[in-house]
Amino acid sequence: MVAAGDRALALWREGTSRLLRGELDEAVALFTASLEEEPTAEAYTFRGWAYSFMGRLDDAIEECRKAIATDPRFGNPYNDIGVYLIQQDKLDEAIPWLERAKTAPRYEPRQFPHMNLARIYIKRNRWWDALRELETAQTLAPTDQQLARTLHSVRAKLN
């Protein structure tokens, strides 16, 4: 007999595959089935990600809140809430979520909250703050070419 955790993981993996192929309704159904087997922060977060692609940002934020309630150490939902709030132009509300993502014990890729904070600071013409976040992000992801281009652009603003 297959354990609930194994079934949940298999459903989550299939949901992730569908999500990456743009099959959003199918992905949501698979994440929901995974959660029915065993609630995990990952399944809530990825169901939220699918909702965000559907334009359902409030639902996506709610899914991230469920993920945090399930495992507050998991950093992805903190970052994702920050991103969804940026998309809603709620920049002040986004900042604390991104700051929490930076310190979450269980989180990869760690550069994302720094990059997202930099996006806020760039929108506000806070170039030195953006530079600080981007430089930190680059130490965490030294081969990210898009990050390197953004960092170069911000440095150019300061020269």
Is 156 a residue whose pLDDT tops 80?
A: yes
Rg of the chain on CA atoms, in Å: 17
41-96 tens-digit pLDDT: 999 999 999 999 999 999 999 999 999 999 999 999 999 999 999 999 999 999 99
- What tokens appear for 112 in the block? 């994302």
Per-residue pLDDT, 5: 85
Q: Nearest CA to 81 among 60, 66, 67?
A: 60
Per-residue pLDDT, 4: 76
Per-residue pLDDT, 159: 85
- % of residues, the chain, pLDDT over 90: 96
What's the rounded Cα separation, in Å, for the pair 159 and 155? 7
Higher pLDDT, 1 or 153: 153
What's the rounded Cα separation, in Å, for the pair 36 and 117? 34
Q: How many CB atoms lie within 10 A of CB 101?
A: 25
Question: Whose structure tokens read 């030294």?
Answer: 142
Per-residue pLDDT, 1: 58
Per-residue pLDDT, 2: 59
